[in-house]
Protein backbone atom coordinates (compact mmCIF):
# COMPACT_ATOMS: atom_id res chain seq x y z
CA UNK A 1 0.00 0.00 0.00
CA UNK A 2 1.39 3.37 -1.01
CA UNK A 3 1.29 6.39 1.27
CA UNK A 4 1.61 8.75 -1.65
CA UNK A 5 -0.68 11.78 -1.11
CA UNK A 6 -1.16 11.20 2.62
CA UNK A 7 0.50 14.55 3.37
CA UNK A 8 -1.98 16.32 1.11
CA UNK A 9 -4.92 14.77 2.94
CA UNK A 10 -3.46 15.76 6.31
CA UNK A 11 -2.77 19.32 5.09
CA UNK A 12 -6.31 19.71 3.75
CA UNK A 13 -7.72 18.37 7.03
CA UNK A 14 -5.64 20.84 9.02
CA UNK A 15 -6.71 23.77 6.82
CA UNK A 16 -10.38 22.76 7.18
CA UNK A 17 -10.02 22.48 10.97
CA UNK A 18 -8.32 25.86 11.23
CA UNK A 19 -10.98 27.44 9.00
CA UNK A 20 -13.74 25.96 11.18
CA UNK A 21 -12.11 27.24 14.37
CA UNK A 22 -11.63 30.66 12.80
CA UNK A 23 -15.31 30.81 11.80
CA UNK A 24 -16.31 29.84 15.34
CA UNK A 25 -14.07 32.52 16.86
CA UNK A 26 -15.42 35.18 14.47
CA UNK A 27 -18.98 34.23 15.32
CA UNK A 28 -18.32 34.44 19.06
CA UNK A 29 -16.50 37.76 18.79
CA UNK A 30 -19.27 39.19 16.59
CA UNK A 31 -21.87 38.19 19.16
CA UNK A 32 -19.83 39.78 21.96
CA UNK A 33 -19.45 42.96 19.90
CA UNK A 34 -23.19 43.14 19.23
CA UNK A 35 -23.96 42.68 22.93
CA UNK A 36 -21.51 45.42 23.85
CA UNK A 37 -23.07 47.78 21.31
CA UNK A 38 -26.54 47.09 22.74
CA UNK A 39 -25.31 47.66 26.30
CA UNK A 40 -23.80 51.00 25.31
CA UNK A 41 -26.96 51.98 23.41
CA UNK A 42 -29.14 51.14 26.42
CA UNK A 43 -26.91 53.14 28.74
CA UNK A 44 -26.83 56.14 26.39
CA UNK A 45 -30.61 56.08 25.94
CA UNK A 46 -31.10 56.02 29.71
CA UNK A 47 -28.76 58.99 30.11
CA UNK A 48 -30.55 60.86 27.29
CA UNK A 49 -33.91 60.18 28.94
CA UNK A 50 -32.60 61.35 32.30
CA UNK A 51 -31.27 64.52 30.66
CA UNK A 52 -34.71 65.16 29.16
CA UNK A 53 -36.31 64.54 32.55
CA UNK A 54 -34.00 67.15 34.11
CA UNK A 55 -34.73 69.62 31.32
CA UNK A 56 -31.28 69.56 29.74
CA UNK A 57 -32.71 68.22 26.47
CA UNK A 58 -36.02 69.21 24.91
CA UNK A 59 -38.70 66.52 24.69
CA UNK A 60 -40.35 63.82 26.74
CA UNK A 61 -37.83 61.43 28.34
CA UNK A 62 -39.24 58.28 26.74
CA UNK A 63 -39.43 59.96 23.32
CA UNK A 64 -35.83 61.14 23.57
CA UNK A 65 -34.66 57.68 24.62
CA UNK A 66 -36.75 56.01 21.90
CA UNK A 67 -35.31 58.32 19.23
CA UNK A 68 -31.75 57.45 20.32
CA UNK A 69 -32.46 53.72 20.41
CA UNK A 70 -34.12 53.73 17.00
CA UNK A 71 -31.11 55.51 15.53
CA UNK A 72 -29.04 52.50 16.63
CA UNK A 73 -31.31 49.95 14.88
CA UNK A 74 -32.76 48.60 18.14
CA UNK A 75 -36.13 48.92 19.84
CA UNK A 76 -37.39 49.86 23.27
CA UNK A 77 -39.40 47.15 24.99
CA UNK A 78 -40.60 49.38 27.84
CA UNK A 79 -40.04 52.88 29.13
CA UNK A 80 -41.32 54.17 32.43
CA UNK A 81 -40.75 57.20 34.59
CA UNK A 82 -41.23 57.40 38.32
CA UNK A 83 -40.41 60.37 40.54
CA UNK A 84 -37.15 58.86 41.75
CA UNK A 85 -35.67 57.42 38.58
CA UNK A 86 -36.08 56.89 34.83
CA UNK A 87 -35.90 53.35 33.44
CA UNK A 88 -35.87 52.01 29.93
CA UNK A 89 -35.51 48.46 28.70
CA UNK A 90 -33.84 47.95 25.34
Residues with Cβ < 8 Å from 57, sequence gap 6 or more?
Answer: 48, 51, 64
- How many domains in the chain? 1
Q: Looking at the domain assignment, is residue 28 inside a domain? A: yes
Q: Looking at the domain assignment, is residue 37 inside a domain? A: yes
Q: Looking at the domain assignment, is residue 51 inside a domain? A: yes
Least confident segment among 1-5, 32-36, 57-61: 1-5
Q: Looking at the domain assignment, is residue 53 inside a domain? A: yes
Strands 78-81 and 86-89: antiparallel
SS (H, E, C) 26-87: HHHHHHHHHHHHHHHHHHHHHHHHHHHHHCCCCCCHHHHHHHHHHHCCCCCCEEEECCCCEE
Q: What is the dihedral of CA 11, 15, 17, 22, to 10 degrees?
A: 160
Q: pTM of this prediction?
A: 0.68
Task: Give the residue numbers spanning the domain of 20.
Answer: 6-89
Q: Looking at the domain assignment, is residue 77 inside a domain? A: yes
Q: Would you place residue 22 in the very low, low, confident or very high pLDDT band (cuts 50, 70, 90)?
A: very high
- What is the predicted pLDDT for the residue at 37? 92
The stretch 63-69 carries a mean pLDDT of: 91
d(CA 80, CA 89): 9
Average pLDDT in the chain: 88
Q: Looking at the domain assignment, is residue 1 inside a domain? A: no
- What is the predicted pLDDT for the residue at 33? 95
Q: Would you place residue 88 in the very low, low, confident or very high pLDDT band (cuts 50, 70, 90)?
A: low
In this structure, the chain runs to a length of 90
Is 68 within 8 Å of 48 (Cβ atoms)? yes
Amino acid sequence: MSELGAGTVIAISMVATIAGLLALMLSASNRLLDQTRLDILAENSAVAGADALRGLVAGAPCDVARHLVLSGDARIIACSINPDRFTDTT
